[in-house]
Chains A and B, each alone.
Chain A
């Protein structure tokens, strides 16, 4: 959390792809984000958004859930097939279906409309921090026996410096939030971490965070590193099995 963003973008501004079908929101949010120094490209529907992203990968995606044609959830899933860029979903309905399916599709976080630009920027910054996450010494304590600073948990090898995860020797692609969450677990092996702690440390939320974000990210993590590595401790939280 000590990393603070440089407000104005130059020399290399962060690029944001905003996919939103409502024209007013698209233009207003685009302008607002540009004031914060982001370079924003916009698309009015899912397929255009997908094309734009394939032409030129962006640093972050801001997707509306309800889009004509390919909806935000489908778009999120398609993007996750090839990219690990951070994705923030915007839902106007804010109901469980929107939120859960967006997070299941691979989104890192969600906001419910209407959202203040300051809040939106705070979420974007938190996501970008995760994407450029460099572990501080406290996050990578004594290196395990594996060798050059690698952390080893069964068939799982985590290199906290190179930010690489291998399962049985095979590299595993991790979205920034997933990787950040896994490192949080790896820094506390065998210790139960409750959802609130994870929300605070990984997502920068206070008590107002939605714990479903944690649950669904853990689900996605389990799909990548094996179902048994992270244990659910009912009523408390999760822990990484040594």
Chain B
């Protein structure tokens, strides 16, 4: 429960999430629209204020001109100093001109000036009110935009949750398929027909074809097993019935070899078909390993530290240990030592060690490496590695500095040691 909440929070706070990207996109789009509208409104309002100011300056100029004509007083309009820019403009055009004076923010003026009888008559109109209301308008536009963003962005993030959830489901399903659950399907399909439906359908059909291939491979493996084992069983039992003798021993030996080879090949093809599932139980490692070693009938020095318990599949663990021990005997030299230390099992011999090729690339079928490592079909280590993968254990190969091959099996820490 708590874990789920933490996970949900982490998902929410992941800024790389599609949710936040969509929200950012929406925010950017909203800002662009607000900015464009704001600039347009600002400019048209400004133009309107200016032409209003100019109109008022023209009217005032008319009155000032009348006053001047009546009184002849050149200071009928503005009596102070006329700004040089306006003066120059009037002189050059020789007609009525206006000029907006925005030099000091606290006193904004619209000037009007006209040359009359060699003199320049000027008026000034206060523009402060217009400009203040324009600034207020700008502020309102910004505030309104922010308010809209505050509503739209969370809404967008929320709306993105829906496709997000479908995408997460697709990802979850793909992961389950990768983990071997070939019955997993997204089942997102249906409405929409959007890209997510498409990717879900693609994942589902991939799983379908994987499952088909796997099933036919498994069927083939089972059929091969049947076809090979049936005559083999007759052979094994008949060979046991033969009267004792040298020739019988030869036959029995070859039957044993043939049988081991067929069983190994069938085991590998089952592992390759990916149909193998671990049947886990909490087992005392010392007992499992001891029994496994005993069943091989080979000379082994077994050492156990503590009372290790592991959550694993005892039958597969038995296969791994038996194959490692058999391999150590076939390719290495005695004494073969098996050490159980916690959930780690080490099988070591005192022979020439694993060949470099095996250390570099792991076990390869039908390759035993160097000639001095003796004969064998090289399937044992492949099986050990394959079974280790099925039970989620890690099998590594190495050589001891003083000679000898070391195979180390790390079982997954489920229960741990009881000691």
Interface, chain A (partner B; CB < 8 A): 22, 24-25, 28-29, 31-32, 35, 66, 92-95, 97, 112-117, 194-196, 206-212, 235-236
On B, residues with C-beta under 8 Å from A are 218, 222-223, 225-226, 229-238, 240-241, 259, 275, 279, 281-283, 287-288, 291-292, 295, 314-315, 317-318
B236→A116 contact, CB < 8 A: yes
When the two chains form their complex, are residues A207 and B233 in contact, meaning their CB atoms are under 8 A apart?
no
Q: Could you list 18 further interchain pairs (A-B, Cβ under 8 angstroms) beyond the known A32-B241, A92-B225?
A: A22-B233, A28-B234, A32-B240, A66-B226, A92-B233, A93-B225, A93-B226, A112-B229, A113-B230, A114-B229, A114-B235, A114-B236, A207-B314, A208-B291, A208-B315, A209-B315, A210-B279, A210-B315
* CA–CA, A240 and B360, complex, Å: 53
Q: Measured between C-beta atoms, what is the minimum distance from B43 to chain A in Å? A: 73
Which among B226, B240, B275, B292 is the interface contact of A207 at CB below 8 angstroms? B292
Complex interface: chain B residues within 8 A of A95 (CB): 218, 222, 225, 275
Q: Is the CB of A211 within 8 A of B240?
A: no
Q: Which residues of B contact A29 (CB under 8 A)?
A: 237
Minimum CB–CB distance for B238 against chain A, Å? 5
Task: Assess whether B318 is in contact with A208, with CB atoms less than 8 Å apart.
Answer: yes
A92 touches B229 (CB 8 A): yes
28 A-B interface contacts by CB (under 8 A): A22-B230, A22-B234, A24-B231, A24-B235, A24-B238, A28-B234, A28-B237, A28-B241, A93-B222, A93-B226, A95-B218, A95-B225, A97-B222, A114-B237, A115-B233, A115-B236, A116-B240, A117-B237, A206-B291, A207-B283, A207-B288, A207-B315, A207-B318, A208-B291, A208-B318, A211-B279, A211-B281, A235-B282
Q: Which of A24, A115, A195 contacts B281 (CB 8 A)?
A: A195
Given contacts A115-B233, A195-B281, A196-B314, contact A28 B238 (CB under 8 A): yes
Q: A207-B315, A207-B318 are in contact. Are A196 and B238 (CB under 8 A)?
A: no
B233 to chain A, nearest CB (A): 4
A92-B226 CB under 8 A given contacts A22-B234, A24-B231, A117-B240? yes
Pair B222/A207 contact, Cβ less than 8 Å: no
A114 to B260, CA, bound (A): 10
CB of A25 within 8 A of CB of B237, answer yes
Closest 8 A/B residue pairs (Cβ)? A24-B234, A28-B237, A114-B233, A113-B233, A207-B314, A114-B236, A92-B229, A92-B226
Roughly how many angstroms separate A208 CA and B229 CA in the complex, as a whole number? 20
Q: Using Cβ atoms and an 8 Å threshold, which residues of chain B touch A112?
A: 229
B315, closest chain A residue (CB): A208
Cβ of B3 to closest chain A Cβ, rounded Å: 19
Query: Complex Cα distance A110/B230, Å?
Result: 16
Complex: A151 Cα to B225 Cα, angstroms: 46
Query: Roughly how many angstroms separate A194 CA and B415 CA in the complex, as a whole number?
Result: 16
Q: Which residues of B contact A117 (CB under 8 A)?
A: 237, 240
| Least Cβ–Cβ distance between B290 and chain A, in angstroms | 9
Which chain A residues lie closer than 8 Å to B281 at the CB level? 194-196, 211
Chain A proximity of B86: nearest CB distance (Å): 94
B234 touches which of A25, A97, A195 (Cβ 8 Å): A25
How near does chain A come to B239, taking the closest CB pair, in angstroms? 9
Tell me, in angstroms, the Cα distance from A115 to B259 when the chains sit together: 10
CA–CA, A97 and B287, complex, Å: 30
Complex Cα spacing A29 to B233, Å: 9
Among A32, A93, A194, the one with the most B-chain Cβ atoms within 10 Å of its Cβ is: A93
Q: For B230, list chain A residues within 8 Å (CB).
A: 22, 25, 92, 113
Residues of A close to B279: CB separation below 8 A: 210-212
User: A22 CB to closest chain B CB, in angstroms?
Assistant: 5
Across the interface, which residues of B come within 8 angstroms of A114, CB to CB?
229, 232-233, 235-237, 259
User: B351 to chain A: closest CB distance in Å?
Assistant: 28
**How far, in angstroms, from A25 to B234 measured CA to CA in the complex?**
4
Q: Are A208 and B295 in contact (CB under 8 A)?
A: yes
Could you say which residues of chain A place their CB within 8 Å of the CB of B222?
A: 93-95, 97
Contacts of B291 in A (CB 8 A): 206-208
Q: How far is the CB of A65 from chain B (nearest CB, A)?
A: 9
Q: How far is the CA of A235 from the CA of B280 in the complex (A)?
A: 8
Q: How far is the CA of A25 from the CA of B223 in the complex (A)?
A: 18
Which residues of A have CB within 8 Å of B238?
24, 28
Nearest residue in B to A66 (C-beta to C-beta)? Answer: B226
- Of chain A, the residue at the smallest CB distance from B277 is A96
Which of B218, B241, B259: most chain A CB closer than 10 A?
Answer: B241
Chain A, residue nearest B225 (CB) = A93
Nearest CB in chain B to that of A65: its residue: B226
Query: In whole Å, how far is A196's beta carbon from the nearest beta carbon of chain B?
Result: 6
Give the docked Cα–Cα distance between A236 and B309 (Å): 14
User: How far is it, in angstroms, between the C-alpha of A146 and the C-alpha of B230 when the chains are bound?
Assistant: 52
